[in-house]
Structure formats: C-alpha cells, structure tokens
A and B are shown apart, each in its own frame.
Chain A
C-alpha cells in the first residue's frame, strides 16, 4: 500500500508510472485495430524498425533530446511500413515473409549503427542502447509531456475517424465500394500506430513494444463483443499494466520497468484467455466436458432401453452389448440409477417411467436428426 502512495509523492516513480500508463492507453487503442485487421506483426515491424531511425537522428543532430530521437524512430518505422506495402504490391513475397524480412533488416541496421556510435568515442552516446529494451527509470516530466501530446493526437484522430476505421477493419472492400479512401485511411491508421510506438520506445523499447499493441487488445476481445467496449477495455488493461509494472519495479532494486510492464500485461492476458466469461478457455473446457458427459449418459440410456425391451437389463448383458468389462457396466448402471432413469429389479434392472420417457424423447430426436442428414445430402 505504501508503494501505491509513492506514485503521488515520488517524482521519478510518478513520471515512470504516468509514462507507462499513457503507453498502455495509446498502445491498447491502436492495438485493437491492429489485432482486428490481423496486422499485429506490422506493429512489431514498426517498433523494431525505429532503432536505425533513432541512431540516425543521433548521428545527424548529435543531440540526445528524446523528442528528436523519437521522431527519427517514428520516421524509420513509417518508412519500413511503406516498404512492406511496396514489396507486397510488386513482388510475390507472402505477407509474413515481407514483414519478417523488413523487421530483421531494419533492426540489424539499427544494431550496426548503434555499435558504430558506441565506438565513435562520442561522450554523449551513452544510454542510446536503452531504446532496445527501454529504460523507463530515465523518464522525466518533459518526456511524459511528450507522451501526452503524441498520445492525445493519436487518440483524437481515432475518435474523429472511429466509424471509418471500424468499417475499414471489418470490410475494407465494402468501404472502398462506398467511396471511402481506403488507402489513405490505411496510411493514417498505420501512422497513428507509429505514434503509439514512439510513446513506447523509452519505456519498453523496440523489442517489447509489440506486446503493448497486441496483448491489451487480445485480452479485451475476450471480455466483450462490441468494438467500442473492446477499445475502452484495451486502453484500461494497457494502463493497468503500465502503472502496475512501474510500481512493481519500484519495490526492489534492479527490476527493469519495461519488461515488468510487459509481464503485467501478459498476466492480464492469461487471466482473460482462461477466465473471461463466454470466450474463456476454462468455461469452454467445462462446457465440452459437460456435453460429453451428457451424450455418454444418453447413449447409455438408449443401450439400456434396448436391453430393457428384451427384458434382460443386467450388468452382464449391458457389458456385452457395450463391449466393456462388467465392472464398468455396473458403474454405468449406478450412474443411470442416480439419475432416476433405472431401478433395481429381481432379474437385474428395469427402466423407471422417467427413464422410459427420456429414452423415447431421445429416439425421437435421433430420428429427426437422421432424417435431416439424409434430406440434406
């Protein structure tokens, strides 16, 4: 609890938490569109491609003003995205290959530039490598202000073009047929994603940035079937991860903020994947199990019904019919009895009236089903 209060009193922690939360919000909102348009990997390319831009901005200006470096990174990311599109339009390279090649080329070039700068004996170069994994601890109030401005621009534009972006994500062909400038909107949305990446470069760095685009949106999708709610939840999850990552890293020495923000986000995603109502895996498993169990019992009852009609519903007869050991047949009969479908009888077992009625209903349903299968083929 005392850590939580630090957020209001500790200058560094407040900046770090605010910066990370802002990244979470912007990444969450733009990531929603990236995920829905199946362009998650493009976010990864944008982020990795920023590294050579940062290095070039430093070489050209000799300054380490964060905003200049961020703009350099953003431009490089934007160029990479444009190159991916150009490659896709003019070559037969599949999309994932184009994305992968662009990512590694730009990142490789960035690392090469970084090494070059580090050996150039430029005293002010120290710390440039923080952009690879991020170093949130160095975030200043002026950086937070930058994030706010960049993030606000991105969010404002999303607000303005919300309905167009929605249609573009759902059905670009139809959007085109309505006369919407699909290519322009594509470029705009990609550019906004570049802004989100710029917000994240100092905090989580180029390598982990993609997580802040993909994970909040993927988690949010689990909880809702409405785009507007998904965007809101995604922003909320991103902000929660950002703030809690910052807080956790403040509790001990030598805990890096960026990776902890991403880990917090992964935790939220895991919980969402497993436990979100409707789409959660746990409920899926439970429903499947329940259905299997129900079908198993119904088939059992139908077998019992046949034997009952012959007057030989005994564990031995059931075992023979179902080709299972007598012990299993006994257990199965016990299961049917606990449902009130069979009862014991001097010659073994018989169906109860409830059991008979249920069996009749099942046979009726089977007949309808079979009829439908035949009818449709």
Chain B
C-alpha cells in the first residue's frame, strides 16, 4: 500500500479522511507522551489503537479532541478544524473518569449527548427524551432508563456512555477502552453497535487493550508506543515483527 500524499491542509480538496493527524506531540512535564504522531484513519472502518500501558493511547484521543494541551502538530477532521467538525464527532470516555454516585438517572446521562446540539438556554424536552430512549434501546438498556446511575454494573455503565455518544449522531466516534472490564453481554452489545455504525458508513476509532480480540473486532490497526509503530489494514499490520516492536522483546502473547 502506497502512503497517501498529505493533502489534508486544503479542506475541500476531494474526500478528506475522517481523521488525519500530522506531527502530533504531547508532553507531560518533561517526558513526551506522544512523539511526532502521524495518522490517517480511513473512512467507514472500525479502527483500533493498540499498545502497551503508558503508550499514550488515551492521550492520543484526548489530544485530537483538544482535551489535553498539544505541544505541536495538526489535526484535521474531514478536512476541517476541530471547531468546524465538532458536531460530527462523538466521544466515549473511560467510564472510570466520572463519579457514578452523581445524582442523576440513566436517561439524563444519555440526553447529555444532545446538549451540544441543543445550544444555550434550551432544556431537553420530549423529543430529546425519545431520542435518548432510542439510543438506550440500541444498547439494550431501555428498562434502565429511570435507574439511578450508581445502581449500574460496570458493563451497564459502559453501555450508558455508548448510548450517550450515539445520541450525538456523529460521523466519527472515539471510544476510550470501551471493552475494558465489561461482561459478555456488554461486549456483545458494543460489538453490535460497532457493526451498526460501520453499516451506516461511520468511522470508529477505539482504544483497545486486548490483542486476542483485536483482529476479530477491527478492520484497521494502529500500533502505538509513544510513536506510531505501524498503521494500516489489519492483515498487513498485525504481524509478529510489528507487535514485537510495539511491546518489546518480552511479549507475553503468542501470535
């Protein structure tokens, strides 16, 4: 596969990749968390970002979404800036990032996905409730709509976050470790949603930690360890050499 020429700086020139990252560097204190990351995410595919602990997987997502300060680099979405493309981007943070004892219901959390669309001073109403309920249905959580969120299991929490992102009705989704520590039912539900999104021509970028499943779940793979080690179609990228280079010599997994 021939590397695509980087024409991303001129928006509107043909079909632009959903996500194109150039020379992205993020520094926490002294140590770089991401170094000179280049990444082209192909449209309409399920893309995994894989790498060892501390490789900067989550940081990459947060950096492209503007959630952590970036030392240098350019990020374009569909050839546009983050501000311009904001409404086309959905985000599923790690579920451990919030306090699940917060006094709110499942449906309320899902409706938060519509806040960006609602704009200032408008409260969610009947239409928003119905939209949120449909999203809960997609992750098989309808019967939990009125539940207080502290009563959910880890997997159910994850599905609520997924439903909230679905409510955004985006074209490009970022999911931070959605499969981490979830039950089998939730894993099925997430996979179902991923394939649904793909069927609708949407692009999904997922931080994933499990090398056993990555080949079955995703079409495109980016191996990350501070730098991008390899990125491309799954078959070409998921090779022993690449994995060894990403995880070091003492890799625990047989490929």
A interface residues (Cβ-Cβ under 8 A, vs B): 36, 160-164, 166-167, 169-171, 173-180, 221, 224-227, 229-230
State which of B103, B109, B123 has its C-beta within 8 Å of the C-beta of A221: B103
B93:A230 contact, CB within 8 angstroms = no
Bound Cα distance from A173 to B83, whole angstroms: 16
B112:A173 contact, CB within 8 angstroms = no
State which of B67, B103, B118 has its C-beta within 8 Å of the C-beta of A163: B118
State which of B103, B109, B112 has its C-beta within 8 Å of the C-beta of A230: B103
Q: What residues of B have a CB within 8 angstroms of the CB of A224 in the complex? A: 103
Q: Whose C-beta in chain B lies nearest to the C-beta of A162?
A: B123
For the complex formed, measure the closest distance between the CB of A155 and the CB atoms of chain B, giving whole angstroms: 15
Pull 28 A–B residue pairs with CB atoms less than 8 Å apart, ordered by A. A161-B120, A162-B123, A163-B118, A163-B123, A167-B115, A170-B102, A171-B97, A171-B112, A173-B62, A173-B93, A174-B93, A174-B112, A174-B164, A176-B66, A177-B65, A177-B93, A178-B168, A179-B87, A179-B116, A180-B116, A221-B103, A224-B103, A225-B104, A225-B105, A225-B150, A226-B104, A227-B102, A227-B108
5 tightest A-B CB contacts, nearest first: A178-B116, A225-B148, A177-B91, A179-B86, A171-B98
Q: Whose C-beta in chain B lies nearest to the C-beta of A182?
A: B67
Bound Cα distance from A225 to B150, whole angstroms: 9
For the complex formed, measure the closest distance between the CB of B236 and the CB atoms of chain A, giving whole angstroms: 31
A163:B91 contact, CB within 8 angstroms = no
A163-B115, A171-B93 given; A177·B103 CB < 8 A = no
Interface of A is mostly: helix
Bound Cα distance from A225 to B152, whole angstroms: 14
Q: What residues of B have a CB within 8 angstroms of the CB of A36 in the complex? A: 99, 102-103
Q: What residues of A have a CB within 8 angstroms of the CB of B103 in the complex? A: 36, 221, 224-227, 229-230
For the complex formed, measure the closest distance between the CB of A175 and the CB atoms of chain B, giving whole angstroms: 8
A166-B104, A227-B104 given; A176·B67 CB < 8 A = yes
Q: What residues of A have a CB within 8 angstroms of the CB of B150 in the complex? A: 225
B89:A180 contact, CB within 8 angstroms = no
Interface residues on B, range: 20 to 34
A173:B102 contact, CB within 8 angstroms = no
Q: What residues of A have a CB within 8 angstroms of the CB of B112 in the complex? A: 166-167, 170-171, 174
A170:B109 contact, CB within 8 angstroms = yes
State which of B97, B105, B108, B164 has its C-beta within 8 Å of the C-beta of A173: B97
Q: What residues of B have a CB within 8 angstroms of the CB of A161 in the complex? A: 120
Interface of B is mostly: mixed
Could you list 20 further interchain pairs (A-B, Cβ under 8 angstroms) beyond the known A177-B89, A226-B103? A36-B99, A163-B115, A163-B118, A163-B124, A164-B115, A166-B104, A170-B98, A170-B102, A170-B104, A173-B93, A174-B164, A176-B65, A178-B168, A179-B83, A179-B116, A180-B116, A225-B105, A226-B105, A227-B103, A227-B108
Q: What residues of B have a CB within 8 angstroms of the CB of A227 in the complex? A: 102-104, 108
Q: What residues of A have a CB within 8 angstroms of the CB of B108 in the complex? A: 227
For the complex formed, measure the closest distance between the CB of B112 and the CB atoms of chain A, giving whole angstroms: 5
Q: What residues of A have a CB within 8 angstroms of the CB of B98 in the complex? A: 170-171
Bound Cα distance from A179 to B90, whole angstroms: 11
For the complex formed, measure the closest distance between the CB of A142 and the CB atoms of chain B, giving whole angstroms: 33
Within 8 A of A (CB), among B81-132: 83, 86-87, 89, 91, 93, 97-99, 102-105, 108-109, 112, 115-116, 118, 120-121, 123-124
Q: What residues of A have a CB within 8 angstroms of the CB of B93 in the complex? A: 171, 173-174, 177
Most interface-central of A161, A166, A221 (chain B CB within 10 A)? A166
Most interface-central of A173, A180, A229 (chain B CB within 10 A)? A173
Q: Whose C-beta in chain B lies nearest to the C-beta of A37?
A: B99
Q: What residues of B have a CB within 8 angstroms of the CB of A175 in the complex? A: 115
Most interface-central of A36, A178, A227, A229 (chain B CB within 10 A)? A178
Bound Cα distance from A178 to B116, whole angstroms: 5
Bound Cα distance from A354 to B121, whole angstroms: 63
Bound Cα distance from A177 to B66, whole angstroms: 7
Q: Whose C-beta in chain A lies nearest to the C-beta of B164?
A: A174
Q: Whose C-beta in chain B lies nearest to the C-beta of A179?
A: B86
A180:B102 contact, CB within 8 angstroms = no
Q: What residues of B have a CB within 8 angstroms of the CB of A226 in the complex? A: 103-105
Bound Cα distance from A167 to B148, whole angstroms: 16
Most interface-central of B83, B102, B124, B168 (chain A CB within 10 A)? B102
B104:A178 contact, CB within 8 angstroms = no
Bound Cα distance from A160 to B65, whole angstroms: 27
For the complex formed, measure the closest distance between the CB of A281 and the CB atoms of chain B, giving whole angstroms: 16
Q: What residues of A have a CB within 8 angstroms of the CB of B102 in the complex? A: 36, 169-170, 227
For the complex formed, measure the closest distance between the CB of B131 and the CB atoms of chain A, giving whole angstroms: 15
